[in-house]
């Protein structure tokens, strides 16, 4: 176990005049607090925070961060408190330690919900100070290195969490070495058989190709030297999990992989990268489609390098990465490669940190902890594509993202109002997958709200949560509008004045927080209009109005023809409206609305036999009327019954008649009655009752059709 003076010496190796007092005090405090505690392996518990601190000294982190590493488990696992740590070490260190402390006493049922809430807390702490993440990743790395002492089921759970959350987080801030090790350790526990197989193949291949990799390295080195290009050439072998992931995603076997070995050319200056690239492409043939310039357009995690693949010596494909020493340092250590760490200053200059903070802000828009967890995995794990706005702004998105994701990445309002897009100047569907370098122009309409179906096609958490929220708001608004119309008519019938200000005063009597909540509940049928009248006018006496027991419910509409009926336009209106599944309803029909709690209004023709079943089941009959918008014509659903001769060509004839009369078939079912006759039920969209009558008339005139009737349920 590392001694106190050894820790100070490690920090002094890269920081001149380090704060020895802070380091010594944190060492002693943590050692005393953890006392006789043991890890699952039997080692003293204090060895863990000490190893975490050691990992961070390898990354040349500041004294505050090293102190936080020593203290990171004290609040969670000892009797230390945030107040005590503030008093001993200051509020800044106390804040960082608290950000690393799990919430143990969560009143949540599921393990997933607890994991999600702890992750939300951690990420929000990270957005305030990136050093929280650096300590957490080092903590997780040491835990993974010593995971073997745990039960197999716990090993797999921790490894899965590491693979899904912490390895991608390391990647997002450019710490590729740390990410590779986390992935390899996780892979070992998640799929041990595949891990052993890949490791075995790599060991055999390494021995087999040892001389070839040396030959290629020497060849590159000497050729570059001849061209007066100073470069350090090194070879690397693809990591086991990276190999497995490529085999799985591409459906390849091990022998088909051509890029297990790669070579790095480390040069002095940025311009040398392009000079080396020009020489390599002149000397050897480039493999088309395998060139990427991350120097001109860096990755979101600050990574810069030129990638290319050439057909090198012995006609072997050679994958090359060309970068400067500073780029290489950032590629290996990510955000930890910045020159100074005191007071968290230089981290703020990193686009990787800025990008991570923006992602966390987007993730925080999730409505609950589990949604946050789902979006976090979605945002962090996927590879990225880089697209441009028409003004040249770069937008980074996960691979598989669509213009809808792009719109929401620019601004939530742009996503909510998106109705189409131009991709590189051409109009394309909004569900098109974006590629690197695409220029995306969003076409907007302020009258648009995002369809709920978009949620299943987007690739970013922000787009998904925004669509979900907008859909809920749109439905809520529809129910609120319906509730207001129901109340206006009900108050008029009760001969009382409907006033929103009076309703607001009466909210405590209804036990609701807002007027809109009351309106939405009335619209959903979850609150009776009479309850609202009584809340505003306590002296009002509710009359007992019963429907005649002999009536099938139709009389409620027939007897109530006065003005004030709720206007119905169609399913694309501001009301939660749908049409009867048992035959629909079309303009020209006398109609009745049935409000079923939580389901909105279903519209039925007044002659529908289905209406009788609603008389006693708690549904509410709503007085409605047609109110069509001539500027926005809309088709409406109807159903017809057709009895036809069972002979070849009959179905084609029926479909032809409907098509020639501008009908739109939505669904069709057929059943043979006897050998000579067949029944058809056809669901059809029409403009109105006269249009439907015209189609029925045209069908009935055909000799192969014996009978045509409208189905009204």
Question: Poorest-confidence range of 239-253, 541-555, 612-626, 635-649?
Answer: 541-555
The residue out of 545, 572, 591 marking a domain boundary is 545
Give a yes or no: residue 383 inside a domain.
yes
CATH of the domain at 47: 1.10.3210.10
Confidence of residue 502 (pLDDT cuts 50, 70, 90): confident
CATH of the domain at 408: 3.10.20.30
Burial 509-527 (b: 16+ CB within 10 A, else e): ebebeebbbbbbbbbbbeb
Confidence of residue 267 (pLDDT cuts 50, 70, 90): very high
Q: What is the pLDDT of residue 420?
A: 92
**488 and 451 inside one domain:** no
Q: Which residues contact 11 (CB under 8 A, 6 or more apart)?
A: 18, 23, 57, 63, 66
**45 and 184 inside one domain:** yes
Give a yes or no: residue 612 inside a domain.
no
Confidence of residue 133 (pLDDT cuts 50, 70, 90): confident
Say yes or no to pLDDT of 30 above 70: yes
Residue 7: name the closest of 71, 16, 341, 18 by CA: 18
CATH of the domain at 673: 3.30.70.260
Task: Tell which wins on pLDDT, 379 or 26.
Answer: 26
Across the range 184-189, mean pLDDT stands at 94
Angstrom CA distances, 241 to 163, 187, 203, stand at 10, 6, 14
Q: What is the pLDDT of residue 479?
A: 80
Q: What is the pLDDT of residue 563?
A: 43
**26 and 142 inside one domain:** yes
Across the range 293-313, mean pLDDT stands at 86
Across the range 409-422, mean pLDDT stands at 91
**325 and 222 inside one domain:** yes
Q: What is the pLDDT of residue 483?
A: 83
Phi, psi angles (nearest 5°) of residue 321: -120, 125
Q: What is the pLDDT of residue 433?
A: 92
Q: What is the pLDDT of residue 581?
A: 83
**256 and 185 inside one domain:** no
The residue out of 545, 561, 593 marking a domain boundary is 545
Give a yes or no: residue 534 inside a domain.
yes
Helix axes 63-71, 131-145, angle to 10 degrees: 50
Across the range 27-51, mean pLDDT stands at 93
Q: What is the tens place of the pLDDT at every residue in 430-453? A: 999 998 778 999 999 877 788 888
**203 and 164 inside one domain:** no
Say yes or no to pLDDT of 109 above 70: no
- Residue that the structure tokens 């108050």 belong to: 491
Give a yes or no: residue 630 inside a domain.
no
CA atoms within 13 A on the CB side of 697: 7
Other C-beta atoms closer than 10 Å to the C-beta of 494 total: 18
Give a yes or no: residue 288 inside a domain.
yes
**50 and 180 inside one domain:** yes
Q: What is the pLDDT of residue 522?
A: 83
**239 and 361 inside one domain:** no
623 tagged catalytic: no
CATH of the domain at 278: 3.30.460.10
Question: Which range scores top for mean pLDDT: 106-120, 255-269, 271-285?
Answer: 271-285
Q: Rounded CA gap, 269 and 327, in Å?
A: 10
**56 and 170 inside one domain:** yes
User: Domain range holding 532?
Assistant: 471-545
**427 and 520 inside one domain:** no
**60 and 106 inside one domain:** yes
Q: What is the pLDDT of residue 630?
A: 77
As a whole number, the mean pLDDT across the chain is 82
Say yes or no to pLDDT of 346 above 60: no
543 tagged catalytic: no
Give a yes or no: residue 250 inside a domain.
yes
Choosing from 43, 51, 62, 76, which is the catalytic residue?
76
Q: What is the tens place of the pLDDT at every residue in 79-92? A: 999 999 999 999 99
Q: What is the pLDDT of residue 100?
A: 84
Q: What is the pLDDT of residue 256?
A: 67
**101 and 206 inside one domain:** no
Across the range 99-121, mean pLDDT stands at 59
The residue out of 311, 337, 363 marking a domain boundary is 337
Q: How many domains does the chain have?
A: 5
Give a yes or no: residue 410 inside a domain.
yes
DSSP string, 522-552: HHHTSS-HHHHHHHH-TTPPPP-----TT--
Say yes or no to pLDDT of 39 above 50: yes
Give a yes or no: residue 128 inside a domain.
yes
Say yes or no to pLDDT of 271 above 60: yes
Choosing from 77, 370, 441, 517, which is the catalytic residue?
77
Say yes or no to pLDDT of 603 above 50: yes
Say yes or no to pLDDT of 670 above 80: yes
């Amino acid at each position: 176990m590392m001694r106190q003076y050894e820790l100070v010496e490690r920090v002094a190796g890269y920081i001149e005049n380090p704060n020895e007092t802070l380091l010594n005090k944190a060492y002693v405090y943590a050692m005393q607090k953890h006392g006789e505690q043991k890890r699952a392996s039997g080692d003293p518990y204090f060895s863990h925070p000490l190893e975490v601190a050691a990992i961070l000294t390898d990354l040349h982190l500041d004294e505050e961060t090293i102190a936080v590493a020593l203290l990171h488990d004290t609040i969670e696992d000892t009797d230390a408190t945030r107040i005590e740590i503030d008093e001993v070490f200051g509020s800044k260190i106390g804040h960082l330690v608290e950000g690393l402390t799990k919430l143990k006493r969560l009143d949540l049922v599921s393990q997933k919900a607890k994991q999600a809430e702890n992750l939300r807390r951690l990420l929000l702490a990270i957005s305030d100070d990136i050093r929280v993440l650096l300590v957490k990743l080092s903590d997780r790395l040491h835990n993974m290195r010593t995971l073997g002492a745990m039960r197999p089921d716990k090993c797999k759970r921790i490894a899965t969490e590491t693979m899904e959350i912490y390895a991608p987080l390391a990647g997002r801030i450019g710490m590729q070495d740390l990410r590779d090790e986390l992935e390899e350790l996780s892979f070992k526990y998640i799929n041990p058989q595949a891990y052993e197989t890949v490791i075995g193949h790599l060991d055999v291949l390494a021995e087999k190709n040892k001389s070839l990799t040396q030959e290629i390295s020497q060849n590159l080195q000497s050729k570059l030297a001849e061209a007066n290009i100073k470069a350090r050439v090194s070879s690397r072998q693809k990591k086991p999990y990276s190999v497995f992931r490529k085999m799985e995603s591409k459906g390849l076997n091990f022998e088909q992989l051509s890029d297990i070995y790669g070579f790095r050319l480390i040069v002095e200056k940025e311009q040398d990268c392009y000079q080396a690239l020009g020489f390599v492409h002149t000397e050897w043939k480039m493999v088309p489609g395998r060139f990427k310039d991350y120097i001109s357009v860096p990755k979101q995690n600050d990574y810069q390098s030129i990638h290319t693949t050439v057909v090198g010596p012995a006609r072997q494909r050679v994958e090359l990465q060309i970068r400067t020493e500073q780029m290489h340092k950032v590629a290996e250590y990510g955000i930890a490669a910045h020159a100074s760490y005191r007071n968290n200053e230089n981290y703020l200059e990193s686009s990787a940190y800025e990008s991570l903070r923006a992602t966390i802000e987007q993730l925080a828009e999730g409505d609950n902890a589990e949604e946050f967890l789902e979006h976090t995995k979605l945002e962090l794990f996927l590879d990225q594509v880089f697209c441009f706005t028409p003004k040249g702004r770069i937008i980074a998105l996960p691979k598989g993202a669509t213009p809808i994701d792009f719109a929401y990445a620019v601004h939530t309002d742009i996503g909510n109002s998106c109705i189409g897009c131009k991709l590189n100047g051409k109009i394309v569907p909004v569900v098109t997958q974006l590629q690197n370098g695409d220029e995306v122009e969003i076409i907007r309409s302020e009258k648009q709200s995002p369809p709920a179906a978009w949620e299943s096609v987007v690739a970013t958490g922000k787009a998904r949560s925004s669509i979900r929220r907008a859909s809920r708001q749109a439905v809520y608004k529809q129910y609120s509008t319906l509730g207001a119309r129901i109340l206006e008519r009900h108050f008029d019938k009760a001969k009382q004045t409907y006033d929103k200000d009076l309703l607001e005063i009466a909210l405590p009597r209804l036990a609701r927080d807002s007027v809109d909540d009351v309106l939405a509940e009335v619209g959903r049928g979850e609150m009776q209009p009479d309850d609202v009248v009584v809340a505003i006018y306590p002296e009002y006496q509710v009359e007992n109005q019963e429907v005649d027991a002999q009536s099938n419910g139709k009389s409620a509409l027939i007897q109530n023809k006065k003005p004030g009926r709720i206007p119905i336009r169609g399913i694309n209106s501001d009301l939660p409206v749908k049409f009867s599944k048992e035959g629909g309803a079309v303009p020209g029909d006398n109609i009745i609305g049935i409000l079923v709690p939580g389901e909105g209004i279903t519209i039925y023709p007044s002659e529908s036999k289905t209406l009788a079943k609603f008389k006693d089941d708690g549904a509410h009959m709503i007085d409605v009327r047609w109110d069509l918008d001539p500027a926005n014509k809309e088709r409406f659903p109807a159903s017809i019954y057709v009895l036809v001769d069972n002979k070849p060509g009959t179905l084609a004839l029926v479909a032809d008649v409907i098509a020639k009369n501008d009908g739109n078939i939505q669904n069709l079912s057929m059943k043979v009655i006897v050998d000579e006759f067949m029944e058809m039920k056809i669901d059809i969209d029409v403009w109105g009752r006269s249009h439907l009558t015209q189609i029925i008339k045209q069908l009935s005139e055909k000799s192969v059709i014996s009978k045509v009737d409208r189905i009204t349920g």
